[in-house]
Amino acid sequence: MDATPFTAVDRDLLKRCLNKDPGSWNDFVDRFLSLIYHVIGYTAHLRSVRLNPEDVEDIAADVLLKLVANNFKALKEFRGNASLATYLTVIARRICIQELARRQQVKDAMKRGESRLPEVEPDDAPAAVKGIERLEEVDKLLKKLSGREREIVRLYYLEGRTYEEISTETDVPVNTIGAVLSRARKKLRELAKKTSDQLPAVKPAKARSKQKPTPPANGNPTPTTKDKGPTQ
């Protein structure tokens, strides 16, 4: 799935961010913002959703905020089995899918004439790294699967497709897709347990305080995508 390794450059950049070194977050944004824009654009394209530049900026900013949330939790949970770019791609795709779904719910509610719009469910866990749904475990599982089962798992976890979209693409009934993914989740739990026992996490510096985490003030401003147009 990902032949590109976790490079020394990205390893150093990640450590600098976790250590909250001055300027590190700006360097991180400069390096990966165009990737995040691309992922958002491609994900919207797959769902036939048209986004204007402002929409793309808003979703990209949300991705960046999720990366720094809970004291860089998403970055701390990166294990290094894939490239950092691939890991961020999965996170950005999941966040984009959630936002597109939320916007569609709002549109549907407005069409029905509902005065109260759907409430956004709280989500303090980084997308794509919740529980067992980690890139490394999915990658390992895909290597053990074949045929339609492999394609269903790939489309769901890596492409972020809905059951209906997967059913259309694979010609597999929706209820069958649910059963396949149920088995996949069980296997992923087993792989996650083995991974947690065997792979050391990137060790960040000790937290200085328990205050609400934001990018450090010493040269690292709040994540923003302004003045940086979408990169195709």
Question: 214 pLDDT exceeds 50?
Answer: no
Q: Between residues 221 and 177, which one has the greater pLDDT?
A: 177
22-51: average pLDDT = 91
Q: Given pLDDT bands bounded at 50, 70 and 90, which one contains residue 175?
A: confident
Q: Where are the alpha helices (DSSP H) in the chain?
A: 8-18, 24-46, 53-76, 84-111, 135-144, 147-157, 163-170, 174-198
pLDDT given at position 58:
92
Q: What is the mean pLDDT of the chain?
A: 75
Asked if residue 27 has pLDDT above 90, the reply is: yes
DSSP structural state of residue 230: -
**Minimal CA–CA distance to 126: which of 6, 5, 213?**
213
Ordered by start, the domain boundaries in the chain are 8-198
Q: 148-152, 162-166, 193-197: which has the minimum mean pLDDT?
A: 193-197
In this prediction, residue 226 carries a pLDDT of 52
Options 1.20.120.1810, 1.20.1370.20, 2.30.30.230, 1.10.1740.10; CATH for 8-198 is 1.10.1740.10
